[in-house]
Structure 1
Amino acid sequence: MTPRLLLAGFGSFPAAPLNPSAAVIATLARESWAPPGAQVDYLTLPVQWQGATETILRQLQTSPADGVLVVGVAVEAEAFRVETLGRNCASPERPDQAGRVWGSPLIADAGEDVIAASAPCQAMASALETEGLPVDLSEDAGDYLCNFTLYRLLHAKAAARVGFLHVPQARECAEAAAFDLAQIRQAVTSAAGAFCAELSRPVAEPHRA
């Protein structure tokens, strides 16, 4: 069967009025881009504690996918980051785009401290390296909506494989940024291509601590 990937990016928030993840996802959706031999669905997520994960889960109920790759911006990053862990932590007083706070330092009161991403992280990182793009395997996705969404998707076992790619800010969004949207698009398509290539292979149970 043809593997299906759900590819999602975040909309704007105060630190990124123009979010490059949403800009790239919107372009790829308009072009109906997909790696050879795969299908891709697209979503733009609200930067909201109650809303981002729910948007993905509703989409998966309508159109199940073999994998989910979420793309977000790390405004101060100087390299692309493939996130390898979801951590059960959140910034309790940091407001989302709607002005609401999560109100707890934990995402799930009875949840595991750490859940390993089930995406093919090393394959994704290697694909970016092949394109000449700087990339790190990261163990800390922060304490805002990026880590929050990754952890909740892993905790809910939303799909067999779930991953997260942090991209740096783009020149079109901030003049001092090191990358342009074309390079960010290249990173996203390379990571998504590597992800899809692995979707037909068995996945091990994520490590939970």
Structure 2
Amino acid sequence: MTATVLVTGFEPFDQHKAGVNPSWQAVRTLPQHMNGVALVVQEMPVEYAAVKARVPETLAQLRPACVVHVGVGKPGDIRLERLAHNDGYARPDNRGEIPPAGMAVPECQIAELRTSIDVDALLDRMQATGWSVTASTDPGRYLCDFIYFTSLHICSRSGTPCLFVHVPPAGKQYSQEEINSALHQLVGHITKML
């Protein structure tokens, strides 16, 4: 049976609402297979309740070997997020809502969860090919952080590696085509690590 990697991007929101979200634009260009691994790509809504419902359902259905979430961040480097937070979600989503108690997983007593993926190895590989990639411990306490914690909480029980990647807005440091290429390389490195 072929291993599967789930890769998600987000729908438009805030300043991206009128147009496109560079994260989904990059994710949707990924091939169906890479290094003998099947890639399943999905566009996620910028809605806490929808993410809370879809992530467990999708992970249970696919049982992926790895999960890679992608979102748009600040201008500058591509950022690999080392951790996610459980609380502090006060920014309204596309529906104007916030999660109950401002938490990703209210029944969880852990404040933050870390990825099991070797972020430093990925940084070395990406930087060696000329990409401006850094590590971060601040995924932003919005939907990016929220989906990451939600997935890490589930994946930590099964030992499934999970990573969040922030790409910059298109045209700020990299064009959309360059963002697509960088994500393609990054996912390629991840599939080789499985």
Answer yes or no: same fold by TM over 0.5. Answer: yes
Aligned to 2:131: 133
Aligned to 2:169: 169
Structure 1 segments of 4+ aligned residues over 3 angstroms from their partners = none
| Match runs of 1:78-97 below 5 Å | 78-92=76-90, 94-97=91-94
Per-residue Cα deviation, 1:102-131 (whole angstroms, up to 9, x for no partner): 253433334311211122322322232122
How many Å apart are 1:178 and its aligned residue?
A: 1.8
Aligned to 2:105: 108
How many residues are treated as equivalent by the alignment? 189
How many Å apart are 1:95 and its aligned residue?
A: 1.3
Counterpart among 142, 147, 157 of residue 155 in structure 2: 157
Q: Which amino acid aligns with 1:91?
A: Y
Q: Which structure is higher in helix share?
A: 2
Per-residue Cα deviation, 1:8-42 (whole angstroms, up to 9, x for no partner): 111111132221011112222xxx34322211111
Aligned to 2:53: 54
Distance in 2, matches of 1:67 and 1:198, equals 10
Q: How high is the TM-score relative to the length of structure 2? A: 0.88
Q: Which deviates the most, 140-149 or 2-11?
A: 2-11
Aligned to 1:34: 33
Distance in 1, matches of 2:62 and 2:112, equals 28
Aligned to 1:118: 116
Distance in 2, matches of 1:3 and 1:193, equals 14
Matching of residue 23 in structure 1 with residue 25 in structure 2: yes
How many Å apart are 1:50 and its aligned residue?
A: 0.9
Conserved? CA contact 1:67–1:119, under 8 Å: no
Counterpart among 182, 193, 196 of residue 188 in structure 2: 193
Distance in 2, matches of 1:127 and 1:16, equals 30
- CA distance change for structure 1 residues 56 and 131 in 2, over 3 Å: closer, same or farther? farther
The residue matched to 2:163 in structure 1 has which SS?
strand
- CA distance change for structure 1 residues 59 and 106 in 2, over 3 Å: closer, same or farther? closer
Conserved? CA contact 2:4–2:62, under 8 Å: no
Distance in 2, matches of 1:122 and 1:19, equals 27
Distance in 2, matches of 1:166 and 1:123, equals 17
Distance in 2, matches of 1:195 and 1:58, equals 23
Q: Which deviates the most, 14-23 or 105-114?
A: 105-114
Q: Which deviates the most, 110-119 or 36-45?
A: 110-119
Q: Which amino acid aligns with 1:48?
A: E
Per-residue Cα deviation, 1:25-70 (whole angstroms, up to 9, x for no partner): 2222xxx343222111111000011112432322222222110000
Q: Which amino acid aligns with 2:154?
A: A
Unaligned runs of 5+ in 1: 172-176, 200-209
Unaligned runs of 5+ in 2: none
